[in-house]
Amino acid sequence: MNKIFALVFVFVSVSTLAAERPFGLVLHGGAGVIERTSLTPAREAEYRAKLTEAREGGYAVLERGGSALDAVVAGIVILEDSPLFNAGKGAVFTADGTCELDASIMDGRTQAAGAIAGVRHIKNPITLARAVMEKSEHVMLSGDGAEKFAKQQGFELVPNEYFQTEFRRKQLEQAKQREAAKKTSSLLPADHFERVARYGTVGCVALDRSGNLAAGTSTGGMTNKKFGRVGDAPIIGAGTYAHNATCAVSATGWGEYFIRVGVARDIAAQLEYRGTPLKEAAAATIRKVGQLGGDGGVVAIDKAGNIALPFNSAGMYRGWRLSSGSAGVAIFSGE
C-alpha cells in the first residue's frame, strides 16, 4: 500500500514538474515597411498560413520532448522552403542576378555556434549552419569554401535557379531602375521602396522542456547586393545569440545597424549584467537601433519562457506558441 502511494506520489510530482516547466518558440519572417495597403487579402492569408505552419512545425518538436535546436531548424526550414520569405527559395537577388544566402545558429546549452555567408547552392542554409557548428572546428565559413565543406558533409547542392522567383527578379529590376534614376535626380522620395524590397530574414528562437535555449536566423540578404556584403544574419551576437543563462534572440532588419549595435548579444547582456526583464531589454536595444537610424525587430525568449517581439518598422511577420497556451501569428504593428 505504501509502495503504491509512493509510486503515485512520484508520478504526480514528475507530471507536475513536466507541466510546470515552460517551453515554446517565437519566429519571424522579416521586418520592414509592411503596410496593410500593400498586401492583398489573399497574400496576407498566405503569409499567416505559412507562419502558422512553421510555428506548429517547430512547436510539435518541443511538445514531443525534442530539443530547442531541432525546433529552431524545423521552423526555419519551413520558412526557407516557402517563396514568400527572403530566405532559401524566394531569396532576393544580388546585383549580379543570383541568390546568395547567409544563416547562423547558436546552442544556448554549450554556446556552440555555426554560420555561413554567401552560399549559392544550399537548399536549406540553416542546416548547413548547424553542420558547421556540429561537424567542423569552425564557427563561420564563407562562399565557395562553405559549399566545399557542405559537399564533404554529404549535402546535396541545388542549382541557383532553385531559389530564384519572378517576384524577386522584378524587385531587382526595380531596384536597378531606381538606382539609375537616383544618379540623375535627387528629388526622388527617400528609400521607402528600398526598405520594402531590400531586407528580409527568417528566424526562430526556442526553449525546450529541458530548459535549453536555441536561436537561428536565415536570409537571402538584400536586393541588388554588391561587393560581397555581409549583413547581420550570419553574425553571432548581431543576428543570432543564445545562452541558457539568459535568452535566445533572432533579429531581422537593416543589417548594418544590427551589427553595429550587436543586437542579439546586447539584449542578452542586459539580462546577464543587470537583470533587466526580457521585454524591457529587447525594447531598449531596438531603441538603440532606431537612434542610430536603423529599423527592424527581434524575436526573443528567455529561460523562463517569457517572450518579446519588438520592432520599430511598420510590420514584422511573426508567430509564437507557448506551453502556457498563448499562441498567435501577426504581421502589422498593434496586432
By annotation, the residues acting in catalysis are 201
Candidates 135, 148, 169, 192: give the one binding a copy of itself (CB under 8 A).
148
Candidates 44, 260, 280, 330: give the one binding a copy of itself (CB under 8 A).
260
Candidates 7, 15, 43, 144: give the one binding a copy of itself (CB under 8 A).
144
CB of 71 to a copy of itself, least distance (A): 21
Q: How many CA atoms lie within 13 A of 245 on its CB side?
A: 11
Q: ∠ CA(265), CA(270), CA(275), 5° rounding?
A: 140
Candidates 228, 287, 304, 324: give the one binding a copy of itself (CB under 8 A).
228
Contact indicator for 283, 266 with CB cutoff of 8 Å:
no
For residue 139, state whether it binds a copy of itself (rule: CB under 8 A).
yes
CB of 146 to a copy of itself, least distance (A): 6
CA–CA dist 101, 81 (Å, integer) = 13
State which residue, 82 or 224, has the beta carbon closest to a copy of itself: 224
Residues 242-280 as b/e (b if ≥16 CB within 10 A, e otherwise) read bbbebbbbbbbbbbbbbbebbbbbbbbbbbeeeebebee
For residue 262, state whether it binds a copy of itself (rule: CB under 8 A).
yes
Residues 73-91 as b/e (b if ≥16 CB within 10 A, e otherwise) read bbbbbbbbbbbbbbbbbbb
Return the axis-axis angle of helices 68-81 and 125-135, rounded to nearest 10°: 150
Candidates 31, 69, 236, 329: give the one binding a copy of itself (CB under 8 A).
236
CB of 237 to a copy of itself, least distance (A): 4
Residues 6+ apart with CB under 8 A from 232: 238, 239, 251, 253, 255, 256, 258, 259, 263
Residues 6+ apart with CB under 8 A from 259: 231, 232, 235, 238
Part of the chain binding a copy of itself (CB under 8 A), chosen from 61-69, 131-139, 154-162, 174-182: 131-139
State which residue, 118 or 220, has the beta carbon closest to a copy of itself: 118
For residue 97, state whether it binds a copy of itself (rule: CB under 8 A).
no
For residue 233, state whether it binds a copy of itself (rule: CB under 8 A).
no
Q: How many CA atoms lie within 13 A of 22 on its CB side?
A: 15
State which residue, 203 or 262, has the beta carbon closest to a copy of itself: 262
For residue 146, state whether it binds a copy of itself (rule: CB under 8 A).
yes
For residue 241, state whether it binds a copy of itself (rule: CB under 8 A).
yes
Alpha carbon distance, N-terminus to C-terminus of the chain: 55
Residues 6+ apart with CB under 8 A from 63: 23
Give the helix ranges, DSSP H, for 66-154: 68-81, 125-135, 143-152
Candidates 117, 197, 247, 299: give the one binding a copy of itself (CB under 8 A).
117
For residue 202, state whether it binds a copy of itself (rule: CB under 8 A).
no
Candidates 101, 230, 299, 331: give the one binding a copy of itself (CB under 8 A).
230
State which residue, 90 or 118, has the beta carbon closest to a copy of itself: 118
For residue 118, state whether it binds a copy of itself (rule: CB under 8 A).
yes
Contact indicator for 113, 187 with CB cutoff of 8 Å:
no
Candidates 4, 156, 274, 334: give the one binding a copy of itself (CB under 8 A).
274
For residue 270, state whether it binds a copy of itself (rule: CB under 8 A).
yes
State which residue, 128 or 309, has the beta carbon closest to a copy of itself: 128
Question: Of the candidates 27, 18, 33, which has an alpha carbon nearest to the alpha carbon of residue 51?
Answer: 27
Residues engaged in binding a copy of itself (CB under 8 A): 106, 111-113, 117-118, 136-146, 148-149, 226-231, 235-238, 241, 255-256, 259-262, 265-266, 269-270, 272-274, 276, 292
